[in-house]
Every structure is written in C-alpha cells, then in structure tokens.
Amino acid sequence: MASANKNLSKYDSSMVPNGTSFRICLIVSEWNHEITNRLYIGAQKTLLKHNVLPENIVKIHVPGSFELIYGASKAQTQNFDAIIVMGCIIKGETRHFEFIANAVAQGIKDLNVNGKSPVIFCVLTDDNIEQSFQRSGGKMGNKGVESAITALKMISI
C-alpha cells in the first residue's frame, strides 16, 4: 500500500487555493454512517478553514456507496464547482465488495470524463472496520480532509 506508513492529511496550507467563491457539494453515503460522518466532518472543517462559505457547502445523503454515482450525476447539473463523494465499503465474505467498489470507481471516473465539474473520490475500500477508522480520523489521517484539499485544487485548474 502506497500510503501504508504515511498520514497524507498533513499538508501545506499556503499551497491550497482560497475557496471564498467556491460552491461544493458533499454527497455522503448513509451505509457505514459512523465512518462516512467522520469523513464529512473532516472535509467540512477543511473547506471552512480555506474560506468556503458555510452556505456554499451543500450536503446530500444517499443510501449507500453505489448510489453516490447517481447523486453526483444529479449534482453536476446544479452548478457546483466540485463534488465530493464519500462512502465506506468494507470487505466481507462474498464478492459483493469487489462489484460495488469497482462499479463506484468506474462510475465516478465516467462522471469526471464526461461531466462539467470534478467529482472527488473519497470512498474508503478497506478490509475491515478498523482500517476505516484509521483512515477517517485515526493514525492514517482523514481522507475527508484530503478530498477537500483535492476539490479546492481541482476547481483551480
């Protein structure tokens, strides 16, 4: 794993664009809510830290990670500067994990290729719940923070 021993949530704030004029949609899966809420809080705090106005941060809930694709496709029609999709898919005893993780990744890729605003992938695909906790505010940082920084940088392209 490329980030096995790194906390990628530490970054140089001076390298992040000012978000004062940005409008960002955070689409959050309700499945594994304890994890996805931690991702959301990390992203929201980071966006606010970089001057995105509270009223320009819109949160939309969808039932699960698979539904993030549809939510993001709808959000792309609503003049957001960026969209962040947040989910948590934990490997189980069946191949369901593989199908969902692959479908979500491909769906978000397609939206980035064909859509008018960037869709940032903040979907954890972990072997167990402990890994998810470590990547949503634990020793591995918070992928929500990283997704917010990514969104701000992508808007500026």
Examine residue 8 and state whether it is found in any structural domain, yes or no.
no
In 117-157, the DSSP E strands lie at 119-126, 136-138, 141-142
pLDDT tens, 43-57? 999 999 999 999 999
Residue 8: predicted pLDDT: 53
Exposure pattern of 95-124 as b/e (b: 16+ CB <10 Å)? Answer: eebeebbeebeebbeebbeebebbbbbbbb
* pLDDT of 16 over the 90 cut: no
Give the model's confidence band at 58: pLDDT under 50 very low, under 70 low, under 90 confident, else very high: very high
Mean residue pLDDT of the chain comes to: 91
Provide the domain count of the chain: 1
Examine residue 26 and state whether it is found in any structural domain, yes or no.
no
Give the model's confidence band at 66: pLDDT under 50 very low, under 70 low, under 90 confident, else very high: very high
- Specify the pTM: 0.92
Average pLDDT over residues 14-23: 87
The CATH number that applies at residue 91 is 3.40.50.960
Residue 9: predicted pLDDT: 63
Examine residue 3 and state whether it is found in any structural domain, yes or no.
no
Examine residue 49 and state whether it is found in any structural domain, yes or no.
yes
Average pLDDT over residues 96-125: 93
**Is 33 noted as a catalytic residue in this protein?**
no
* pLDDT of 1 over the 80 cut: no
Find which of 3-17, 42-56, 81-95 is predicted with most confidence, using mean pLDDT. Answer: 42-56
**Catalytic choice (33, 50, 61, 96):** 96
Residue 7: predicted pLDDT: 59
Residue 18: predicted pLDDT: 87
Our CA angle for 74, 147, 138, nearest 5°, is 130
* pLDDT of 110 over the 80 cut: yes
Examine residue 51 and state whether it is found in any structural domain, yes or no.
yes
Range of the domain at 133: 37-155
Examine residue 14 and state whether it is found in any structural domain, yes or no.
no
